[in-house]
Amino acid sequence: MTRNKISTFISTDGLSDFLVDESHKILDLRIQDKFEKGHIAGSIHIDSELFIKRNEEGVNIVPDKGVIISALRERGVNNDDTLILVDDVFNLNCSIAVWVFHYYSFYNVKLLDGALSKWEKENRHLTTEVAFYPPGNIDFTVENPSICITKDEILMNIYSEDCTFVDNRSDYAIEYDQQGGIIPGARQFFYLDIFEEYPDYFMLKDLESIHKELHDKEITEDKAIILYCESAPQSALVYLVMKELGYPDVRLYLAGYEEWRIICSFL
């Protein structure tokens, strides 16, 4: 079982303090072209697709740890490193990556609040120099399937009073996209509602206000929380916020509504 409270988000000031600390490594998950045009000094480029895998039906499943470990070791990542993941604006590529790290019980992972957009807006230093590190020793030894839920488990628990299903898609997606729909009994909490919008970037709202919004929608800590969106990244971000708030049992339906839509056609 994963920890009740996991601190994930780091400010631009906090990241700036860590730039001289060799025990922290920055993983940049943007596309290669953007990375080459400018990145935070010391950053390592990682393809975000490393943390995504689809099955024969085309829906998300947990990616192979061996492939991830090999790529991270090649880039010099070690077991005792703290990893800081960076993306463009919303951190969606990073959110699913952090969730995968948690699945493999690696918790020394941070997300840059405001993403690279805020870093750039503050005119902080970027470089085109590429950092190289000696091979790393990172390993994943323990899986944590308690933060994931399958379609079969959902079908067994869909009317359970011990679970709260939470749809993180927009009103439009729920009503119209791909014929619309929602898992029966699910409450909606749109993932963008965790953000405060600023010119050119988005930052997390005050955690107390997010907590209140969740409680106003009866999404409370005494239930197992099942999060889903279309295909996981949005819900992975909400998962991280809920773990920051100390929710003890938060699970991600990794296959998301992409798979549930298929199930509905047979029910």
Q: Can you read off the two tokens belonging to residue 22?
A: 């060799």
pLDDT at 156 over 60: yes
Q: Can you read off the two tokens belonging to residue 139?
A: 């390993």
Pairing of β 24-28 and β 44-45: parallel
Q: Does domain 145-264 have CATH number 2.60.40.1180?
A: no
Give me the pLDDT at residue 133, please.
94
Distance set, CA 12 to CA 6, 38, 48, 121, 135 (Å): 19, 16, 21, 11, 28
Give me the pLDDT at residue 21, please.
74
- Give me the percent of the chain exceeding a pLDDT of 90: 81
Give me the pLDDT at residue 266, please.
55
Mean pLDDT score, 134-146: 96
pLDDT at 96 over 90: yes
Q: pLDDT band at residue 154, thresholds of 50, 70 and 90?
A: very high
| 2 or 259, higher pLDDT | 259
Q: pLDDT band at residue 179, thresholds of 50, 70 and 90?
A: low
Cα-Cα-Cα-Cα torsion 113, 118, 120, 122, nearest 10 degrees, comes to -110
User: What are the start and end residues of each CATH 3.40.250.10 domain in the chain?
Assistant: 9-121, 145-264
Give me the pLDDT at residue 191, please.
96
Q: Identify the CATH assignment for 9-121 out of 3.40.250.10, 3.40.50.300, 3.40.50.720, 3.20.20.150.
A: 3.40.250.10
In whole angstroms, what is the distance from residue 159 CA to residue 32 CA? 45
- For the entire predicted model, the pTM comes to 0.94
In whole angstroms, what is the distance from residue 25 CA to residue 18 CA? 9
Extract long-range pairs of 120-129: CB within 8 Å, 24+ residues apart. 120/200, 121/198, 121/199, 121/200, 121/201, 122/12, 124/12, 124/16, 124/40, 125/40, 125/41, 126/38, 126/39, 126/40, 126/41, 127/38, 127/39, 127/40, 127/41, 128/36, 128/37, 128/38, 128/39, 129/41
Q: Which helix or strand (DSSP H or E) is residue 109 part of? A: strand 109-112
Give me the pLDDT at residue 115, please.
95
Sheet holding 224-228, edge to edge: 187-188, 163-167, 224-228, 250-252
Rg value, the chain, Cα: 18
Residue-wise pLDDT for 181-229, tens only, equals 889 999 999 999 999 999 999 999 999 999 999 999 999 999 999 999 9
Residue-wise pLDDT for 15-48, tens only, equals 998 887 778 999 999 999 999 999 999 999 999 9
| Residue 7 CB coordination number (10 Å) | 11
